[in-house]
Amino acid sequence: MRLNELKNERILILGLGKEGIDNFKFLRKVFPKKVIGIGDKNEEVRNHKLEIRKDKRVRWHLGENYLKAIKDYGIIIKSPGIPAKILRKFRRASQIITSQTEIFFENCSGKIIGVTGTKGKSTTTALIYKILKEGGLKVHLVGNIGKPVLSLLLSATPKDIYVYELSSHQLYNLKKSPPIAVFLNVYPEHLDYYQNFNEYIRAKSNITRYQTKKDYLVFNSEDKIVRKVAQKSKAKRITIKGKFYQLNIAAARAVGRIFQIPSKKIEKAIKNFRYLPHRLEYIGTFKGIKFYNDALSTIPETTILALDSLGDRVETIFLGGFDRGLKFDKLAKRILKSKIKNLIFFPTTGEKIWKAILKYRKNRGSLKAFFVDNMKEGVKLAYKFTKRGKICLLSCASPSFSIFKDYREKGNLFKKYVKELSKNEKKT
């Protein structure tokens, strides 16, 4: 959506999180006298930012019935966290629902590198940024991992490069693809947000759907779904392979080469790169046990990859969390093939995972299952039953929201208690 299309329409910002606040600040700069609507289910957002609260040209629509305000606006700028499916009964056919991502894509004069994938996109985005920065380019880290983009739009020039981490929610309903796209993988995820898995795949596919022959698509040729999407792309296709960080590095190298960054500078950036926390993060060795924090593992496939990466020394694993309707049969089979002896389960999917294991279990009499509702108790059990020289892994194969605020809180609590309890926990 072009900026001139916003000029004469009534605009509603739907969702006042980090991105929604950026949307408001941008619109107020462009349209200083325009009345702007703000809708959010949380009535407390009015108090979050003083400059918005004091703005007399803001119309607030807060609380449980906030979506009813949609009918009074011509353009709705939706935050990614609000599912499109819940808007359908409130919108009129003539209304336009857009997003920060779409506005940026349509109006940015710089070059955009879009990165998506169910897992690995944050690390890949950060690594590409480091490589291009090492190459002396004017590069910006934006999207989920960096700054909200509209704060940068007015100062954008053709020399600016934006490395944009793109979730499926940001890609949903997008009508323009980035000139350089990186597509890492697709696994069942966010099935509570989309109508089905196919809709999720379609959202992800928008990263390349509108690319031209002048554009580039860097894609994981070992992922069947990604490979199928790539076959339909008009862009110049560059294949990559690998698991975990090897895949991230391969993608970043490929983008570095597109920009003709010298190999020495690419490798220097990779060597000096500090990997992001909560992604198969090695915490340290305590009481002879190696602890790994993979709190961002929210689906069975990434937990399986973590087990493949760490090997047979994993003796204790933390599993379970919020239930998004995923199946755990493949994970159960992988656990039964491993040398894992201790399973520490969180609600609510912990019970589902255990039932899946019991379904395929034959002679695993030494397998111990523990059900806990807090991190401290789980770490105590890990210290009690994990042998020296073995690995304890937090990789829950489920989102964190059942008893934790998010994956960061879960991972940080794990690290906290691993270190605290190492001073006083005794092994049996």
Cis status of the peptide bond prior to 348, with omega within 30 of 0: yes
Q: Which CATH superfamily is domain 107-271 in?
A: Mur-like, catalytic domain (3.40.1190.10)
pLDDT of residue 427: 53
Please write down the long-range contacts of 230-235, taking CB distance under 8 Å and 24 or more positions apart: 230/183, 232/208, 233/208, 233/209, 235/181, 235/208, 235/211
Higher pLDDT, 88 or 380: 380
pLDDT of residue 425: 59
pLDDT confidence tier of residue 194, bands split at 50, 70 and 90: confident
Question: Does 426 have pLDDT greater than 70?
Answer: no
pLDDT of residue 192: 74
Question: Does 85 have pLDDT greater than 90?
Answer: no
Third-level CATH fold of 281-421: Protein-Tyrosine Phosphatase; Chain A (3.90.190)
- Model confidence pLDDT, tens digit, residues 212-268: 999 999 999 999 999 999 999 999 999 999 988 899 999 999 999 999 999 999 999
Q: In what order do the strands lie in the sheet with 289-293?
A: 281-286, 289-293, 391-394, 314-319, 342-345, 368-371
pLDDT confidence tier of residue 365, bands split at 50, 70 and 90: low
Single-letter code of the amino acid located at 47: N
pLDDT confidence tier of residue 360, bands split at 50, 70 and 90: very high
- Model confidence pLDDT, tens digit, residues 316-349: 999 999 998 899 999 999 999 999 999 999 999 9
* Residue the block writes with tokens 């990559």: 240
Residue 397: name the closest of 290, 318, 292 by CA: 318
pLDDT of residue 51: 81
- Model confidence pLDDT, tens digit, residues 384-394: 999 999 999 99
Q: In whole numbers, what is the pLDDT of the chain averaged over residues?
A: 93
pLDDT of residue 72: 93
CATH top-level class of 3-98:
alpha beta
As a three-state string, the secondary structure of the chain is: CCHHHHCCCCEEEECCCHHHHHHHHHHHHHCCCCCEEEEECCHHHHHCCHHHHCCCCEEEEECCCHHHHHHHCCEEEECCCCCHHHCCCCCCCCCEEECHHHHHHHHCCCEEEEEECCCCHHHHHHHHHHHHHHCCCCEEEEECCCECCHHHHCCCCCCCEEEEECCHHHHCCCCCCCCEEEECCCCCCCCCCCCCHHHHHHHHHHHHHCCCCCCEEEEECCCHHHHHHHHCCCCEEEEECCCCHHHHHHHHHHHHHHCCCCHHHHHHHHHCCCCCCCCCEEEEEECCEEEEECCCCCCHHHHHHHHHHHHHHEEEEEECCCCCCCCCHHHHHHHHHCCCCEEEECCCHHHHHHHHHHHHCCCCCCCEEEECCCHHHHHHHHHHHCCCCCEEEECCCCCCCCCCCCHHHHHHHHHHHHHHHCCCCCCC
pLDDT, mean of residues 107-134: 96
- Model confidence pLDDT, tens digit, residues 273-317: 988 899 999 999 999 999 999 999 999 999 999 999 999 999 999
Spell out the domain ranges in the chain.
3-98, 107-271, 281-421
- Model confidence pLDDT, tens digit, residues 11-32: 999 999 989 999 999 999 999 9
* Total-model pTM: 0.88
pLDDT confidence tier of residue 364, bands split at 50, 70 and 90: low
Pairing of β 216-220 and β 180-183: parallel
Centroid of chain to Cα 55: 33
**Beta-bridge partners for 342:** 316, 368
8 Å CB contact between 76 and 12: yes
pLDDT of residue 101: 96
pLDDT of residue 410: 97
- Tell me the HSE value of 377 on the side-chain side, using a 13 A CA sphere: 8
pLDDT of residue 146: 80
pLDDT of residue 104: 96
Rounded distance between C-alpha atoms, residue 182 and residue 65, angstroms:
39
- Tell me the HSE value of 270 on the side-chain side, using a 13 A CA sphere: 20
Residues in the chain: 428
pLDDT of residue 261: 98
pLDDT, mean of residues 40-44: 92
**Beta-bridge partners for 96:** 75
**Sign for the pseudo-dihedral over CA of 413, 418, 419, 421:** positive
8 Å CB contact between 280 and 292: yes
